[in-house]
Amino acid sequence: MRISFIMLILFISAFSQVEYNTQIQPIFNNRCINCHGGTSGVTLTSYSAVTTSIGNNYGTLIVVPFDAVSSPIYDKVRLDKSPDHGDRMPRGGSLSQTEVDLIRDWLNEGANEALVAVYEEYATPVDFNLAGNYPNPFNPVTAISFLLAKPATVALSVYNLSGLEIFVSQSDYSIGSHKQTIDFSNQPSGIYFYQISFRAQGRQEIVQNGKMTLLK
Ligand code: HEC
């Protein structure tokens, strides 16, 4: 009972989400609505106004759920580049990095008004299926195969028995089956471990581990 309570706390804090009403709307209230409080154009007075406002210069909705980088509202406030159109907002100043990061995270989490149940954020084994490596044992090339039901970023690291990372890769993959080939020509015979992580848009990362044997 006690253990599971502690695990629940860890679980919730590991996947804490940005909450619109307490963390995002106050930024707009303090820094934006003196200029964007009207009834036409970009209006930032409520969740429904924010998510239905269209930026004239960008020609699109200012909020793109799950995609901060494509959201005009993020482009207008981020500090690491100038906006594609017009001035950085708030006009004549800027938000703090913390505020910018909150807006980015809120967008990337789906731009929800209410917190979504944590379990919905999990990728399921149906989304990603790791088929392991073939051949195994191998010399000197093997390939790790996996099947994706959603587009995902896949990162792969291979370690030797001393824990040294000897191979690393990260790429975006489309739906379907894929293979990552690894060449061990420069490595000695032995056991190697790999860790592969999958992250689909709006989902938590899932990580799987495997073992393989190089026989020269
Ligand atoms: C002092 C007035 C002022 C404040 C404060 C202000 N804005 Fe603006 N905003 C403008 C003006 C003027 C424009 C149109 C010109 C431009 O895009 O630079 C604009 C345009 C925009 C656009 C539309 C871009 C398009 O496609 O036309 C967005 C999105 C935006 N602001 C977001 C914000 C956010 C978010 C805040 C608060 C962090 C904010 N603004 C604060 C004056 C302001």
The pLDDT of residue 131 is: 81
pLDDT digits (tens, 9 = 90+) for 141-191: 999 988 888 888 999 999 999 989 999 999 999 888 899 999 999 999 999
Query: Cβ(86) to ligand 1 under 6 A?
Result: yes
Instruction: State the pTM of this model.
Output: 0.60
Sorted by where each begins, the domain ranges of the chain are 2-119, 122-214
The pLDDT of residue 199 is: 86
b or e along 52-70 (b: 16 or more beta carbons within 10 Å of the residue's beta carbon)?
ebebeebeebbbbbeebee
Query: Cβ(152) to ligand 1 under 6 A?
Result: no
Query: Cβ(58) to ligand 1 under 6 A?
Result: yes
Architecture of domain 122-214: Sandwich (2.60)
Q: Which residue CA neighbors atom 23 of ligand 1 most closely?
A: 55
The pLDDT of residue 8 is: 45
The pLDDT of residue 124 is: 56
- Taking the CA of residue 55 as reference, the ligand 1 atom at the shortest distance is 26
Residues of the chain falling short of pLDDT 50: 1-15, 117-123
Query: Cβ(24) to ligand 1 under 6 A?
Result: no
The pLDDT of residue 204 is: 73
